[in-house]
Amino acid sequence: MTENPPNALPASLLEAVALTKRFGALVANDHVSLAIRAGETHALLGENGAGKSTLVKMMCGLLQPDSGELLYEGAPIVFPDPASSRARGVGVVFQHFALFDALTVVENVALGLPGHEPLSALAARIDDCVHRYGLAVEPWRRVGELSVGERQRVEIVRCLLGDPRVLILDEPTSVLTPDESENLFRTVDLLTDEGRAVLFISHKLDEVRRLCHRATVLRGGRFIAEVDPKAETAGSLARLMVGAEVPRLPRVLEHELGEPRLLIRNLNIPGDGSRGSALRDVNLEIRAGEIVGIAGVAGNGQTTLFEVLSGEKLADDQESIVIDRVPAGGLGPTERRALRAGFVPEERLGHAAAPDMRLSDNVLLTTHSDGAIVKLGVVRHSVLNARFQEIVKRFDVRFGGRDPKARRLSGGNLQKFVIGREVLRDPVLIIVDQPTWGVDAAAAAFIRNTLREKAAEGCAVLVISQDLDELLEFTDRIAVMCEGRLTVPVPVAETSREAIGLAMGGAEDGGEGVHAA
């Protein structure tokens, strides 16, 4: 293992030299160095909270380092703000997208560009970029109708229109299906073939080994090593990140299933005109003790299903959704939470958590109907604080300060916080959309195991995920959502990646679910 970063390489396009950044007492980056060369895909690896996003923010002018410097083509440079780094050809696609839902793709892109290019001309440029790099984006669609995967492509296109020489992708594949990831890898290869440099942040070590030419590993805000990922194994990379063997978590033992906790009967939701917004005759039963997974390509109704199950969208028929024997189709989110249902939406910042509220207030937001924390309209701060501390401790949520605003947390730590907040409410039903998006390997295993434990205690768990491997690893039955229809869930042992993949693409299952051939 290298203890010191290697010397600067002459061909590096953008280089961080001994960058340090403190947030109060927390040293998020401690003399971190990294050089990105033209024509390479360089991975940046580290556990949740290791300091990856902080480094990237300093490399694009979103944060200023306390010490250290940036070099651009070997010469010192200061980026006072992101506009100045963009002007020098540094483009970043962050985990949290900065798009306006009410605007179309082309309007969103226009907002980020200087001048007043006519929208039709800009739409034509977007189409060109889309075709050149194989990114499926429709310029005239409203962003609010797009899945997270589609939004990410909009952000990538927006970046590419600025003709960047360095493109930084912060966990780009965590929200993508295997096919979408393959497409993105092709795009990344095209970009590096053109001599651009790509910095690729990912927790998926196998894809890093396939795609990246070099990898820099951070741990606890420090540079640990620079390695050739192709010469490493996923295990050896994980060891570098964690500093020890990654613990294998025990699988929870088999248990008996109980009463149905969630019943969905003939659920129909009309579309709002966009693709993938309607639900057609969806039926599903999840019993106490079981985990059902829903696979599918983003934009096939999963978002609507989550909204209608969480009560953000109401069903016309009260009986079409039954939670723990109570007809709930017309109940709002708070009433459904009072039935001890817990919800973890896909978008953690802005949907699962209010970005500018402190973490403890974010706990209050979803627990006030539980009875313990609010009594007779009065918040019991000691109980709230105890719950907050318990979430932080049990779910190993790491951050600086005592009770920061949600937006201050690293992506993976915020996800652990949201899961912990919902799980510790002791729900009888928990619905999770993309449970481990942006979460490092050890934390992902912990989250899956926690959901397994909840199931063993009698909770029903519904997991919507685009990560097929995740669904095959820890769910009991899997169904596929395609064009608003849900296949009959089949036990994991009776299905296969190939069969699910076919159904995701729209192959008929004959009404019997997706069985292995």
Ligand X SMILES: Nc1ncnc2c1ncn2[C@@H]1O[C@H](COP(=O)(O)OP(=O)(O)OP(=O)(O)O)[C@@H](O)[C@H]1O
Residues in contact with ligand X by the rule CB under 6 A? 23, 26, 28, 46, 48-54, 398-400, 404, 408-413, 438
Please tell me the distance from the alpha carbon of residue 342 to that of residue 427, in angstroms, as a whole number.
6
Query: Of 166 and 323, which has the nearer Cβ to ligand X?
Result: 166
What Å distances lie between residue 33 and 19, 206, 391, CA to CA? 6, 24, 34
Dihedral of CA atoms 31, 37, 41, 47 in degrees, nearest 10, equals: 0
- The DSSP symbol for 254 reads P
Query: Of 50 and 429, which has the nearer Cβ to ligand X?
Result: 50
Closest distance to ligand X from the beta carbon of 323 (Å): 32
Closest distance to ligand X from the beta carbon of 401 (Å): 6
Please tell me the distance from the alpha carbon of residue 50 to that of residue 299, in angstroms, as a whole number.
32
Closest distance to ligand X from the beta carbon of 443 (Å): 8
Strand ranges, E, within 326-405 = 326-327, 341-344, 374-375, 378-379
Closest distance to ligand X from the beta carbon of 307 (Å): 26
Please give the structure tokens belonging to residue 506.
């729209």
Please tell me the distance from the alpha carbon of residue 112 to that of residue 99, in angstroms, as a whole number.
10
Query: Of 261 and 348, which has the nearer Cβ to ligand X?
Result: 348
Chain centroid, CA 21 distance in Å: 25
Query: Of 62 and 113, which has the nearer Cβ to ligand X?
Result: 62
Query: Of 21 and 214, which has the nearer Cβ to ligand X?
Result: 21
Residue carrying the six token digits 């940046």:
44
Query: Of 296 and 411, which has the nearer Cβ to ligand X?
Result: 411
Query: Of 51 and 342, which has the nearer Cβ to ligand X?
Result: 51
Closest listed residue to residue 428, CA positions, set 343, 358, 327, 351: 343
What burial class does residue 411 get, using C-beta atoms within 10 Å of its C-beta: 0-12 exposed, 13-18 middle, 19+ buried?
A: buried
Closest distance to ligand X from the beta carbon of 16 (Å): 13
Closest listed residue to residue 278, CA positions, set 481, 484, 89: 484
Closest distance to ligand X from the beta carbon of 400 (Å): 4
Query: Of 28 and 143, which has the nearer Cβ to ligand X?
Result: 28
Please tell me the distance from the alpha carbon of residue 28 to that of residue 146, in angstroms, as a whole number.
33
What Å distances lie between residue 232 and 36, 215, 221, 235, 488, CA to CA? 20, 10, 22, 8, 41
Chain centroid, CA 349 distance in Å: 10
Closest distance to ligand X from the beta carbon of 96 (Å): 10
Closest distance to ligand X from the beta carbon of 49 (Å): 4
